[in-house]
């Protein structure tokens, strides 16, 4: 059995969610049907939506169920862009560097197909988008900004963004903000009503949309949600039966919603204790790595980072060499960065944080989760010296890598 330290990629399903899912799959009923079998399905669906809404601090009507984080992000970004730029007067999208590819590829698609004017915002050396940088970009955009998007917590380096402050800046310019909270959900408390109130968001300004995914919190893959403020208007991606406020047509996935809710409820209940437990394990892991490899660089913010995230650059090593060597030693970790046609790319997040390509290639992400124990951390620390020695000996290959 290998030691699994890649919870940011996906985390094991919770027993409650698996049981609820399999039981629910055995039930018949389309929630749109009028008969009582359909209405019972609708009731189970809406009870699940209520639980998911509670986990986000919003009203059930504001929860649009989707097929996952990627769809939620596409719906929010394309939907807000199409709606706000319908007459061509607001083509600007403000996007920080270092976002997840679900965001990068969506805005690049909008740029090449629909004339979006994508403006990349700078990150500081910890991976933070400073509110002042957003303020300046919004001043420069004048009245032409369709939407601002930002990742709540970076899935690679774990840096947590100042969401209230960023929402406040957007509210001041009367611009909608979408937040990719896929990596943050279940690890940081999220309360959209509180964020809106504290940031002075009114109507469709400030935080209006937020994406989450069930498989990051112990629910199934293929289920997600978009919080979409009732005051926000989006053009739908899909057309059909008009379900879910006409925003996301298609027969609703009752079993998926039930399984999602069954994971969300315990995840929220356990969050405070789990945060303390994971932070202690993560700090022990970082300390152990620093003792083993004195020239290691810990990436991201020391203070504002996800409880279960540790992200390193190992000078003179390829991140993927370390990954394979650790895998051979029975420890599953990640470089955190994307892979194109089987060839690992240098981390675009580290590059957005101002690091050179060499540093961006020596990156390794170790992400802890609900099932992680002290023994797992020790197993990683035991395997690291050998893997590091070999990866360092192999050094950095001189192959040409595509830069984004
Ligand atoms: C920050 C972030 N956004 C979006 C996604 C995509 O979510 P999904 O896998 O549910 O499509 C991920 C998944 O890794 C993520 O970490």
The string of DSSP letters for 307-327 reads TTEEEEE-TTS-HHHHHHHHH
Confidence (pTM): 0.96
Residues 254 and 311 in one domain: no
Considering its fold, how many domains does the chain have in total?
Answer: 2
Residue 202: how many CB atoms within 10 A of its CB? 12
Whether 317 is catalytic: no
Within a domain: residue 402? no
Residues 289 and 194 in one domain: no
Q: Could you identify the residue written with the tokens 């675009």?
A: 348
Domain of residue 384: give its range. 3-8+271-394
* CA atoms 171, 98, 141, 139: torsion sign: positive
Q: Could you identify the residue written with the tokens 């990627």?
A: 70
Residues 114 and 239 in one domain: yes
Residues 92 and 174 in one domain: yes
Q: Residue 359: which CATH number?
A: 3.90.1150.10
Residues 331 and 217 in one domain: no
Q: How many angstroms separate the CA atoms of 49 and 40, rounded?
A: 14
Q: Does the beta carbon of 182 sit less than 6 angstroms from any atom of ligand 1?
A: yes
Backbone angles phi, psi at 119, to 5 degrees: -115, 120
Within a domain: residue 59? yes
Q: How many angstroms separate the CA atoms of 250 and 20, rounded?
A: 22
Q: Residue 66: which CATH number?
A: 3.40.640.10
Q: What is the pLDDT along the chain (404 residues), one digit of tens a residue?
A: 689 999 999 999 999 999 999 999 999 999 999 999 999 999 999 999 999 999 999 999 999 999 999 999 999 999 999 999 999 999 999 999 999 999 999 999 999 999 999 999 999 999 999 999 999 999 999 999 999 999 999 999 999 999 999 999 999 999 999 999 999 999 999 999 999 999 999 999 999 999 999 999 999 999 999 999 999 999 999 999 999 999 999 999 999 999 999 999 999 999 999 999 999 999 999 999 999 999 999 999 999 999 999 999 999 999 999 999 999 999 999 987 765 556 667 899 999 999 998 888 889 999 999 999 999 999 999 999 999 999 999 887 655 444 43
- For residue 100, the CA-to-ligand 1 centroid distance in Å is 7
Within a domain: residue 400? no
Residues 187 and 152 in one domain: yes
Query: In the beta sheet, which residues pair with residue 118?
Result: 93
Are the beta carbons of 227 and 180 closer than 8 angstroms? no
Q: Does the beta carbon of 367 sit less than 6 angstroms from any atom of ligand 1?
A: no
Residue 395, CB-side half-sphere exposure with 13 Å CA sphere: 3
Q: Does the beta carbon of 256 sit less than 6 angstroms from any atom of ligand 1?
A: no
């Amino acid at each position: 059995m290998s030691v699994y330290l890649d919870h940011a990629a996906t985390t094991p399903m919770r027993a409650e969610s698996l049981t609820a899912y399999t039981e629910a799959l055995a039930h018949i009923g389309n929630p749109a049907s009028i008969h009582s079998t359909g209405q019972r399905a609708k009731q189970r669906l809406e009870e699940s939506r209520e639980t998911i809404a509670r986990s986000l601090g919003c009203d059930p009507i504001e929860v649009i169920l989707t097929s996952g984080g990627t769809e939620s992000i596409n719906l929010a970004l394309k939907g807000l862009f199409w709606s706000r730029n319908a007459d061509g007067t607001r083509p600007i999208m403000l996007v920080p560097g270092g976002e997840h590819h679900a965001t990068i590829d969506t805005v690049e698609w909008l740029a090449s197909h629909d004339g979006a004017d994508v403006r990349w915002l700078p990150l500081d050396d910890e991976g933070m988008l400073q509110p002042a940088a957003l303020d300046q970009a919004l001043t420069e955009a004048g009245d032409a900004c369709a939407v601002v998007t930002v990742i709540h917590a970076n899935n690679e380096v774990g840096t947590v963004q100042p969401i209230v402050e960023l929402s406040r800046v957007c509210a001041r310019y009367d611009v909608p903000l979408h937040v990719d909270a896929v990596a943050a959900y279940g690890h940081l408390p999220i309360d959209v009503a509180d964020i809106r109130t504290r940031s002075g968001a009114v109507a469709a300004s400030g935080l209006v949309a937020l994406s989450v995914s069930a498989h990051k919190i112990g629910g199934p893959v293929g289920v997600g949600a978009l919080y979409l403020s009732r005051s926000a208007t989006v053009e739908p991606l899909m057309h059909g039966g008009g379900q879910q406020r006409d925003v996301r047509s298609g027969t609703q996935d009752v079993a998926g919603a039930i399984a999602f809710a069954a994971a969300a409820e315990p995840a929220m209940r356990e969050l405070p204790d789990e945060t303390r437990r994971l932070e202690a394990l993560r700090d022990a892991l970082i300390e152990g790595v620093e003792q083993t490899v004195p020239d290691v660089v810990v990436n991201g913010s020391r203070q504002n980072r996800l409880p279960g995230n540790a992200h390193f650059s190992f000078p003179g090593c390829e991140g993927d060499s370390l990954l394979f060597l650790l895998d051979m030693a029975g420890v599953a970790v990640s470089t955190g960065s994307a892979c194109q046609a089987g060839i690992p790319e240098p981390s675009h997040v580290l590059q957005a944080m101002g690091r050179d390509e060499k540093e961006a290639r020596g990156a390794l992400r170790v992400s802890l989760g609900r099932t992680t124990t002290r023994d797992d951390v020790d197993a990683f620390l035991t395997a690291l010296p050998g893997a590091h020695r070999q990866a360092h000996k192999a050094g950095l290959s001189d192959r040409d890598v595509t830069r984004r």
